[in-house]
Copies of this chain bind each other. A is one copy, B any other.
Amino acid sequence: MAEAKSTINFREITDFLNHIHPISTEATKFLIQHCNYFHVKKGKFLRSPIDNTETLYFIVKGLVRGFIKEEGDEITTWLNEENNIVGSVRNLGLAIETEEYIQALEDTTLIGIQQTALNEMYDTYYEANIIGRKILERYYRDADERAFLCRLPSAEKRYRRFLVTRSSLLRRVKLKYIASYLNMKLETLCRIKVKVERP
Protein backbone atom coordinates (compact mmCIF):
# COMPACT_ATOMS: atom_id res chain seq x y z
CA MET A 1 0.00 0.00 0.00
CA ALA A 2 1.49 3.30 -1.11
CA GLU A 3 0.73 6.44 0.83
CA ALA A 4 1.61 9.82 -0.58
CA LYS A 5 0.76 13.12 1.07
CA SER A 6 -0.34 15.22 -1.86
CA THR A 7 -0.28 18.95 -2.29
CA ILE A 8 -3.50 18.80 -4.26
CA ASN A 9 -6.86 19.49 -2.76
CA PHE A 10 -8.56 16.11 -2.20
CA ARG A 11 -11.36 17.40 -4.37
CA GLU A 12 -13.10 14.00 -4.55
CA ILE A 13 -13.87 13.95 -0.83
CA THR A 14 -14.62 17.65 -0.37
CA ASP A 15 -17.05 17.54 -3.33
CA PHE A 16 -18.69 14.42 -1.90
CA LEU A 17 -19.18 16.03 1.52
CA ASN A 18 -20.25 19.43 0.17
CA HIS A 19 -22.93 17.69 -1.81
CA ILE A 20 -24.37 16.35 1.47
CA HIS A 21 -24.08 19.64 3.37
CA PRO A 22 -21.90 22.75 2.80
CA ILE A 23 -18.65 22.67 4.79
CA SER A 24 -16.89 25.84 5.91
CA THR A 25 -13.50 26.89 4.56
CA GLU A 26 -11.94 26.18 7.98
CA ALA A 27 -13.35 22.65 8.14
CA THR A 28 -12.25 21.99 4.55
CA LYS A 29 -8.73 23.17 5.42
CA PHE A 30 -8.64 20.90 8.48
CA LEU A 31 -9.88 17.97 6.43
CA ILE A 32 -7.27 18.44 3.70
CA GLN A 33 -4.51 18.67 6.30
CA HIS A 34 -5.53 15.31 7.75
CA CYS A 35 -6.27 13.33 4.58
CA ASN A 36 -3.96 11.07 2.61
CA TYR A 37 -4.26 9.21 -0.66
CA PHE A 38 -3.86 5.43 -0.59
CA HIS A 39 -3.28 3.19 -3.59
CA VAL A 40 -3.95 -0.52 -3.10
CA LYS A 41 -3.28 -3.12 -5.79
CA LYS A 42 -5.90 -5.72 -6.64
CA GLY A 43 -5.83 -8.55 -4.09
CA LYS A 44 -3.89 -6.56 -1.49
CA PHE A 45 -5.12 -5.61 1.96
CA LEU A 46 -6.12 -2.21 3.19
CA ARG A 47 -6.44 -3.44 6.72
CA SER A 48 -6.01 -6.58 8.78
CA PRO A 49 -7.16 -7.25 12.35
CA ILE A 50 -3.71 -6.49 13.76
CA ASP A 51 -3.82 -2.86 12.59
CA ASN A 52 -4.18 -0.62 15.58
CA THR A 53 -4.97 2.72 13.99
CA GLU A 54 -8.57 3.31 13.06
CA THR A 55 -8.94 4.93 9.67
CA LEU A 56 -11.96 5.74 7.54
CA TYR A 57 -11.54 5.65 3.77
CA PHE A 58 -13.43 7.24 0.90
CA ILE A 59 -13.17 5.10 -2.24
CA VAL A 60 -12.17 7.36 -5.14
CA LYS A 61 -11.88 4.52 -7.66
CA GLY A 62 -12.05 0.75 -7.36
CA LEU A 63 -13.77 -1.85 -5.26
CA VAL A 64 -13.15 -3.38 -1.83
CA ARG A 65 -14.65 -6.07 0.35
CA GLY A 66 -14.76 -6.68 4.07
CA PHE A 67 -14.31 -10.22 5.28
CA ILE A 68 -13.72 -12.27 8.37
CA LYS A 69 -11.94 -15.60 8.73
CA GLU A 70 -13.95 -18.36 10.29
CA GLU A 71 -12.23 -21.71 10.73
CA GLY A 72 -10.16 -21.23 7.62
CA ASP A 73 -13.05 -19.97 5.50
CA GLU A 74 -13.37 -16.37 4.46
CA ILE A 75 -16.83 -14.87 4.91
CA THR A 76 -17.47 -11.73 2.86
CA THR A 77 -19.44 -9.34 5.06
CA TRP A 78 -19.71 -6.35 2.70
CA LEU A 79 -18.77 -5.08 -0.76
CA ASN A 80 -18.31 -1.43 -1.71
CA GLU A 81 -17.35 0.52 -4.81
CA GLU A 82 -16.52 4.15 -5.68
CA ASN A 83 -18.06 7.02 -3.69
CA ASN A 84 -18.49 4.95 -0.58
CA ILE A 85 -16.93 5.29 2.81
CA VAL A 86 -15.39 2.14 4.26
CA GLY A 87 -13.24 1.34 7.23
CA SER A 88 -12.99 -0.84 10.22
CA VAL A 89 -16.53 0.25 10.75
CA ARG A 90 -17.44 -2.41 13.28
CA ASN A 91 -15.40 -0.15 15.58
CA LEU A 92 -16.94 3.11 14.44
CA GLY A 93 -16.70 5.35 17.49
CA LEU A 94 -15.80 2.52 19.82
CA ALA A 95 -12.46 1.15 20.92
CA ILE A 96 -13.28 -2.55 20.72
CA GLU A 97 -11.45 -5.16 18.72
CA THR A 98 -12.49 -6.05 15.22
CA GLU A 99 -11.76 -9.27 13.39
CA GLU A 100 -12.25 -7.69 10.01
CA TYR A 101 -10.01 -7.66 6.96
CA ILE A 102 -10.42 -5.20 4.09
CA GLN A 103 -9.19 -6.27 0.66
CA ALA A 104 -9.06 -4.48 -2.71
CA LEU A 105 -10.82 -6.47 -5.45
CA GLU A 106 -9.53 -4.07 -8.14
CA ASP A 107 -6.65 -1.59 -8.19
CA THR A 108 -8.16 0.92 -5.79
CA THR A 109 -7.51 4.57 -4.87
CA LEU A 110 -8.80 5.84 -1.56
CA ILE A 111 -8.62 8.93 0.62
CA GLY A 112 -8.10 8.10 4.28
CA ILE A 113 -8.53 10.01 7.51
CA GLN A 114 -7.71 8.71 10.97
CA GLN A 115 -10.52 8.35 13.49
CA THR A 116 -8.71 10.67 15.94
CA ALA A 117 -8.69 13.49 13.34
CA LEU A 118 -12.33 12.80 12.55
CA ASN A 119 -13.24 13.09 16.22
CA GLU A 120 -11.40 16.42 16.41
CA MET A 121 -13.35 17.56 13.38
CA TYR A 122 -16.66 16.64 15.05
CA ASP A 123 -15.63 18.57 18.17
CA THR A 124 -14.47 21.67 16.29
CA TYR A 125 -16.82 22.11 13.32
CA TYR A 126 -20.50 21.60 14.04
CA GLU A 127 -21.38 21.04 10.36
CA ALA A 128 -19.24 17.89 10.48
CA ASN A 129 -21.92 16.45 12.75
CA ILE A 130 -24.66 17.21 10.23
CA ILE A 131 -22.68 15.49 7.49
CA GLY A 132 -21.69 12.61 9.79
CA ARG A 133 -25.30 12.14 10.85
CA LYS A 134 -26.54 12.05 7.24
CA ILE A 135 -23.80 9.65 6.13
CA LEU A 136 -24.51 7.38 9.08
CA GLU A 137 -28.24 7.34 8.26
CA ARG A 138 -27.34 5.93 4.87
CA TYR A 139 -24.85 3.40 6.23
CA TYR A 140 -27.23 2.35 8.95
CA ARG A 141 -29.73 1.55 6.22
CA ASP A 142 -27.09 -0.37 4.25
CA ALA A 143 -26.07 -2.43 7.29
CA ASP A 144 -29.71 -3.08 8.10
CA GLU A 145 -30.23 -4.24 4.51
CA ARG A 146 -27.26 -6.62 4.85
CA ALA A 147 -28.80 -8.05 8.03
CA PHE A 148 -32.20 -8.32 6.36
CA LEU A 149 -30.93 -9.87 3.13
CA CYS A 150 -29.05 -12.53 5.02
CA ARG A 151 -32.15 -13.62 6.95
CA LEU A 152 -34.24 -14.27 3.84
CA PRO A 153 -34.70 -18.04 3.96
CA SER A 154 -34.58 -18.72 0.20
CA ALA A 155 -31.24 -18.49 -1.64
CA GLU A 156 -33.05 -17.44 -4.81
CA LYS A 157 -34.76 -14.56 -3.01
CA ARG A 158 -31.44 -13.42 -1.60
CA TYR A 159 -29.98 -13.42 -5.12
CA ARG A 160 -33.01 -11.60 -6.58
CA ARG A 161 -32.82 -8.95 -3.87
CA PHE A 162 -29.10 -8.52 -4.56
CA LEU A 163 -29.96 -8.06 -8.26
CA VAL A 164 -32.35 -5.24 -7.36
CA THR A 165 -30.15 -3.48 -4.82
CA ARG A 166 -26.55 -4.09 -5.95
CA SER A 167 -26.67 -5.31 -9.56
CA SER A 168 -23.72 -3.11 -10.57
CA LEU A 169 -21.46 -5.36 -8.51
CA LEU A 170 -22.36 -8.46 -10.49
CA ARG A 171 -20.07 -7.59 -13.39
CA ARG A 172 -17.18 -6.59 -11.17
CA VAL A 173 -17.04 -9.06 -8.28
CA LYS A 174 -15.99 -12.71 -8.47
CA LEU A 175 -18.95 -15.03 -7.97
CA LYS A 176 -17.29 -16.76 -5.03
CA TYR A 177 -17.34 -13.48 -3.06
CA ILE A 178 -20.95 -12.74 -4.03
CA ALA A 179 -21.94 -16.28 -3.00
CA SER A 180 -20.27 -15.79 0.37
CA TYR A 181 -21.92 -12.37 0.82
CA LEU A 182 -25.29 -13.94 -0.01
CA ASN A 183 -24.73 -16.76 2.45
CA MET A 184 -24.83 -19.56 -0.13
CA LYS A 185 -22.48 -22.02 -1.78
CA LEU A 186 -20.87 -21.07 -5.11
CA GLU A 187 -22.67 -24.00 -6.79
CA THR A 188 -26.02 -22.72 -5.50
CA LEU A 189 -25.34 -19.21 -6.82
CA CYS A 190 -24.34 -20.57 -10.25
CA ARG A 191 -27.47 -22.72 -10.45
CA ILE A 192 -29.77 -19.84 -9.43
CA LYS A 193 -28.01 -17.40 -11.78
CA VAL A 194 -28.67 -19.70 -14.77
CA LYS A 195 -32.29 -20.14 -13.72
CA VAL A 196 -32.92 -16.40 -13.25
CA GLU A 197 -31.17 -15.39 -16.49
CA ARG A 198 -32.95 -17.99 -18.60
CA PRO A 199 -35.46 -16.21 -20.81
Contact = CB atoms under 8 A, between A and B. Distances in A.
A136 interface: yes
Nearest to A134: B93
The copy count of this chain in the complex is 2
A92 B130 contact: no
A181 to B, nearest CB: 8
A146 B150 CA distance: 9
A136 B140 contact: yes
A141 B70 contact: no
B150 A151 contact: yes
A92 B137 contact: yes
A130 B126 contact: yes
Instruction: Select the residue from A93, A138, A141, A147 with max chain B CB neighbours within 10 A.
Output: A147
A129 B133 contact: yes
A77 interface: yes
Contact of A90 (B129, B145, B151): B145
Interface string A81-92: 000000001111
B141 A144 contact: no
A173 to B, nearest CB: 16
A122 interface: yes
Contacts of A147: 77-78, 143, 146-147, 150
A26 interface: no
B92 A153 contact: no
A190 interface: no
A93 to B, nearest CB: 4
Interface in A140-166: 140-141, 143-148, 150-153, 157
Contact of A126 (B89, B129, B137, B146): B129
A2 interface: no
B183 A137 contact: no
A106 to B, nearest CB: 23
